[in-house]
Amino acid sequence: MKKNKNQDYIYIVLVKAMTGLGKFARKFSKYEYTHIAVCLNDKLDDFITFSRKTHYAPFNSGFMHETLDCYAYGKNEKVKLKIFNIPVSKENKEKIIEYISKIENDNDYIFNLYSMITMPILHGIRIYKTHNCMSFVSKIIDISKAVYMSKKYYKYSIKDIDILLSNYKYKEEFFYKTKIENKNYMNKVSITSNIFMFLKLNGKLLHRIISKRGLIKYEE
């Protein structure tokens, strides 16, 4: 889709993630893209999403500003991205920026692991003050008012979003890293630390499911 110079846009980015989890998901789903983020301008150098903080710590996850080297990491020099440019009014873009700022500055938000791993079966579940990459980006699309969403935002998978935004395809190609911006991203993490982070995240999620279910309606 060609851009109108007088129109504001946001950019929804589908990522062919090269992680072990991404490769497994592709083999299981037969679908190419396994991660999703949003960019606020056409520089495409700030991928805003919910994801792992470092490559070797999948359970230390949450709100992230990712850079291209988070996708083309280590020996991977390139990554395939599919990008949609979504037209938004100035008012709705301001609302999107406000929402992102609110989430970024609220340390109570954590990664919704349960919704992510059960998406093929349960088609999305809400837990108080949680997001994963799919629900976060879908919420941004919802705020944009660019397309009609026939179901709750947290019920959209990456493939659903791909179909939903088909009329706004901007480009689909390989992007090459030119520098390392996230210098600590490839730091090694021990098995013990990963187990601790897994248990900590599960404890928080279970606590919110049990004790904070009624607060969801006040969240947004």
Tens of pLDDT, residue by residue over 31-79, are: 899 999 999 999 999 999 999 999 999 999 999 999 999 999 988 899 9
Q: What is the mean pLDDT of residues 143-162?
A: 97
Does residue 61 sit within a domain? Answer: yes
| 140 contacts 162 by C-beta, under 8 angstroms | no
| 190 contacts 58 by C-beta, under 8 angstroms | no
Report pLDDT for 20. 75
Residue 143, judged by CB atoms within 10 A of its CB (0-12, 13-18, 19+), counts as: buried
Report pLDDT for 74. 85
**Domain count along the chain:** 1
| 174 contacts 79 by C-beta, under 8 angstroms | yes
Report pLDDT for 2. 57
Does residue 71 sit within a domain? Answer: yes
Residues ≥6 apart with Cβ < 8 Å to 137: 12, 36, 37, 38, 49, 161
C-alpha distances (whole Å) from 132 to each of 1, 35, 156, 192 are 27, 10, 11, 24
Q: Are strands 130-131 and 78-88 parallel, antiparallel or unpaired?
A: unpaired
Report pLDDT for 105. 97
Q: Round the average pLDDT of the chain to a whole number and report it.
A: 92
The whole-angstrom separation of Cα 157 and Cα 148 is 16
Does residue 3 sit within a domain? Answer: no
Report pLDDT for 175. 95
Only one residue has tokens 């660019």, namely: 146
Does residue 1 sit within a domain? Answer: no
Report pLDDT for 84. 98
Does residue 104 sit within a domain? Answer: yes
Query: For residue 32, what are its two tokens?
Result: 């190419």
Report pLDDT for 129. 96
Q: For residue 36, how far is the Cα from the chain centroid?
A: 4
Report pLDDT for 215. 78
Report pLDDT for 155. 97
Does residue 188 sit within a domain? Answer: yes
Q: Which domain holds residue 157?
A: 8-218
Does residue 121 sit within a domain? Answer: yes
Higher-pLDDT residue of 172, 29: 172
List pLDDT tens digits, range 84-117.
999 999 999 999 999 999 999 999 999 999 999 9
Question: CATH no. for residue 203?
Answer: 3.90.1720
Name the residue among 24, 7, 18 with its Cα closest to residue 85. Answer: 7
Does residue 41 sit within a domain? Answer: yes
Report pLDDT for 6. 62
